Copies of this chain bind each other. A is one copy, B any other.
Amino acid sequence: MTEKKQTTDYSAIEKKKEAATRLVDFGETLYTQMTQNEFPWITMPSRSIENIIYSPKLRQYILGDRRVKRSARNIRHIRPLSQLVWTAFFAHHLATNRKTSTLRDVYYSAQAYEMSFKDQSESDNVIIDLETVTGSAREEFNIFPEERSAVFGDLTIEYTVPGYEGRRMNLTSHPDGLMVGPALTYSEFVKTSANKVIAIEKGGLFTRFIEENVHTKHNALLVLTAGQAPRATRHFIRRLNKELELPVYILTDGDPWGMHIAMVIISGSANAAHIRDLTTPDAKWSGVWATDIQSYKLPSIPLTERDVKRLHELQRDPRYKEKLWQREIKTFMKIGKKAEQEAFSRYGLTYIVDEYLPAKLEAD
């Protein structure tokens, strides 16, 4: 068993406290401006397309040097600035009252304060502004995604949510898996015997891995992404990687959509260029590769027009510059085929666990 490593540069709980502090700082800045008879104003990095730059070093999109200013002196800025201030107030209210919320909840909650958003996309956008201003992900001020995924394996956590403070739970306790929601996201990691994380796209395979004891045979924590991983799950995978120093392997369907599930865990999305805590740059996409379709002679399905169009987009995407990705994109296009994770059942239900997985983990 590895006892918890104290990492000085990263702790989810500390980051959350920091987010609360940043909200207060934001309020104080505006307040000070007003007491000095200034029109309140802020600046933040621009999120316009020209200012979204791919950083090969960080392996994610970041924002460039362009900044925008919002000032109450400018009549066109009054509305978005007021919305931003209200959102900061509401986020602080959530954090202080230890309640969680969703993007949609925030939109409707605004109406309780006669704060008008013309639709949810307007309020979503202001929440992204708040992330940009504070540099904190919205989960750190308790705004969580609607979607839920799951985890299973030998990791003991300690809860920090109200009513559960100090309680511990081992993540092998429930063989169908434990949901990744606010409580798990902000739990402390106490101890683990795992030496790797395997993220899996599909529920059926997640269950197969548990039934076949992949967690003990390979000392792995298993994470179900349930399709595209929700932000809270990407954050959780990052924590497993950074705090526990566990390498992360990602298994998806062998098609452009599966590749991109892996890539978003690794490098994030352009939409999240303004924050840093959602990516796991060292995570590896372990398959199903296009070259696996060939070498394992997997049952396959012809690529659709939409698949091919998507492959062309990915080919030009800076996140896909590295050799592995380019090779796999080209192979997909050459063979004109894709394969699902379940295709390995062609060789028996446990082949993927007994043969494919060990080969993939060793190849690393």
A interface with B by C-beta (< 8 Å): 98-102, 104-105, 107-109, 111-112, 144-148, 150, 159, 161-164, 169, 173-184, 202-204, 207-208, 211, 213, 224, 226, 299, 340, 342-349
Contact = CB atoms under 8 A, between A and B. Distances in A.
In this complex, the member of A180, A203, A226 whose beta carbon has the largest number of chain B beta carbons within 10 angstroms is: A203
Given A99-B349, A344-B108, A181 B161 contact: no
B181 A207 contact: yes
A207 B180 CA distance: 11
A177 B148 contact: yes
A348 B112 contact: yes
A146 to B, nearest CB: 5
A349 B174 contact: no
A150 B179 CA distance: 7
Contact of A176 (B102, B105, B148): B148
Contact of A101 (B98, B146, B183, B349): B349
Nearest to A157: B174
A164 B159 contact: no
Contacts of A211: 98-100, 162
A180 B182 CA distance: 19
Contacts of A148: 150, 176-177, 203, 224, 226
Given A146-B204, A150-B179, A163-B175, 14 more contacts: A101-B204, A102-B204, A104-B340, A105-B208, A105-B345, A108-B299, A108-B345, A111-B345, A148-B150, A162-B211, A173-B173, A174-B184, A175-B183, A177-B179
A99 to B, nearest CB: 6
Contacts of A107: 342
A109 to B, nearest CB: 4
A207 B178 contact: no
A358 to B, nearest CB: 19
Contacts of A150: 148, 179
6 contacts: A102-B203, A109-B348, A112-B346, A148-B226, A162-B211, A173-B173
Contacts of A182: 176, 207
B342 A105 contact: yes
Contacts of A226: 148
A84 to B, nearest CB: 19
A172 to B, nearest CB: 9
A104 B342 contact: yes
Contacts of A164: 175
A144 B202 CA distance: 12
A92 to B, nearest CB: 14
Contact of A183 (B163, B174, B179): B174
Contacts of A176: 148, 178-184
B347 A204 contact: no
A301 B221 CA distance: 43
A105 B349 contact: yes
A109 B349 contact: yes
Contact of A299 (B111, B178, B207, B347): B111
A179 B178 contact: yes
A63 B184 CA distance: 45
Contact of A174 (B169, B208, B340): B169
Contacts of A177: 148, 178-179, 181
